[in-house]
Amino acid sequence: MPQPPAPPVELVPTSRLFCSPSNPRQNDASVPHVAASLRRFGWQQPVVARRTGEVIAGNTRLKAAQQLGLAEIPVWWFDGSDIDAVAYAVADNKTHEFSQWNDAALACLLEQLREEDSLDGVGFDDAEIERLIAGLAAEESADIDDPGPEPPQCDRQPSGTQSPSSPRTTERCGPQSLRSSSRTPAPSRSTRSRCQWHRDRTSCPPRSSGTP
């Protein structure tokens, strides 16, 4: 069955809207970060509200807009049932929790933004980035220091004139016995940028040169 056309996004006076009193999400700590994002990027997604003015998705964005003193904000009207409004409000807060950061790729992107002095509105500060990079470096060091599994052992008769009745000696055998115990050291942070280091270990795209 064909679906009816979606209603357009409408600019609505901020004074007409209010946060859902049943919203279970505690979001006050996020408001300054969302406000910074709105200042830099503007409205890239509307809030979702019922015709009564109750916001069911985007309560933090509404609080940020009020903090910024915005007179109007974009709204997508939700015309579903009461129970669907509750279900959507919970789903909007829950579904993003099923995803996870790829820390190495994230560090690469944050390094690119920091090098361009472009962290405003992103939500990460220098201290968080340094902790992230330090954690990745520690994991890399642990991987290098790990000696790996012990090679298998087997009984091998020593060469020479030793008689069959002589005691057998246990030696390491297999290709592992030929492997050097030395490992390639971690890449030096002093010889290349941290971002390049992370880019080498991930599929992070190269930095743009600024030319079209």
Are the CB atoms for 98 and 29 separated by under 8 Å? no
Are the CB atoms for 121 and 36 separated by under 8 Å? yes
Please check the confidence at residue 110 and state whether its pLDDT lies above 90.
Answer: yes
- Report the distance separating Cα 67 and Cα 122, nearest Å: 18
Residue type, 212: P
Write out pLDDT tens, residues 40-89: 999 999 999 999 999 999 999 999 999 999 999 999 999 999 999 999 99
Please check the confidence at residue 153 and state whether its pLDDT lies above 70.
Answer: no
Within 10 Å of residue 193's Cβ, how many Cβ atoms? 14
Among candidate residues 18, 16, 22, the one with its CA nearest the CA of residue 93: 22
Question: Does residue 195 sit in helix, strand or coil?
Answer: helix
pTM confidence score:
0.65
Are the CB atoms for 95 and 15 separated by under 8 Å? no
CATH 3.90.1570.10 holds for 10-98: no
How confident is residue 209, by pLDDT bands cut at 50, 70 and 90? Answer: low
Write out pLDDT tens, residues 158-194: 555 555 555 555 555 454 444 444 444 444 443 345 5
Q: What is the longest distance spanned by two Cα atoms in the chain?
A: 99
How confident is residue 200, by pLDDT bands cut at 50, 70 and 90? Answer: low
Write out pLDDT tens, residues 126-147: 999 999 999 998 888 776 766 6
DSSP track, 97-110: GG----HHHHHHHH
Please check the confidence at residue 106 and state whether its pLDDT lies above 90.
Answer: yes
CA distances from residue 5 to 2, 8, 10 in whole angstroms, order as listed: 9, 9, 15
